[in-house]
Amino acid sequence: MNRPGPSAMTLPRIPPPIEMSNDTKRAIIDGIKEIIEILKAAGRVAEDYSYSKIIREPRDLYRFIKAFRNSSELVGAIVKDIDGQPVTAFDVPLECGVTLAQIQHLLTRTCARHFLERENREDEKIVTETVKKKVLGLFTTTKQVERKTGGGFDERRVREISRNIAFDWQLPLLPAYNMLSTSQLSELGDDLIYLQSFDAIREYLQIEAPTAKRAKAVAGEEFVTILATKPSALPGVATWSRDMYIAYRRALGDKSLAFFARDKEFFLVCSGLDKPLVSIYGEVLEFIEADNLSELQRLNIDKTEVLLQAMKTAFGVHFKEALTNANFAKDILRRLVESMQHITQEKAQLAQSALITCRAVAPQVISWVEKQKSGVEQA
Examine the pLDDT at 19 and tell me if it is beyond 50: yes
Residue 89 C-alpha from the chain's centroid: 27
CA–CA distances in Å: residue 62 to residues 54, 107, 137, 174, 198 = 8, 10, 64, 11, 16
How many Cβ atoms sit within 10 Å of the Cβ of residue 176?
A: 18
pLDDT exceeding 70 applies to what percent of the chain?
Answer: 88
CB 268 within 8 A of CB 291: no
The confidence band for 2, taking pLDDT boundaries of 50, 70 and 90, is: very low
Of 284, 187, 169, 272, residue with least CA distance to 231: 187
Point out the least confidently predicted range of 101-115, 124-138, 194-208, 278-292. 124-138
So what's the pLDDT on residue 152? 61
So what's the pLDDT on residue 378? 40
Examine the pLDDT at 87 and tell me if it is beyond 50: yes
So what's the pLDDT on residue 373? 82
Examine the pLDDT at 138 and tell me if it is beyond 90: no
CB 298 within 8 A of CB 336: no
Examine the pLDDT at 175 and tell me if it is beyond 60: yes
Examine the pLDDT at 174 and tell me if it is beyond 90: yes
The confidence band for 134, taking pLDDT boundaries of 50, 70 and 90, is: low
pLDDT exceeding 90 applies to what percent of the chain?
Answer: 78
The pTM for the full model equals 0.83
So what's the pLDDT on residue 3? 39
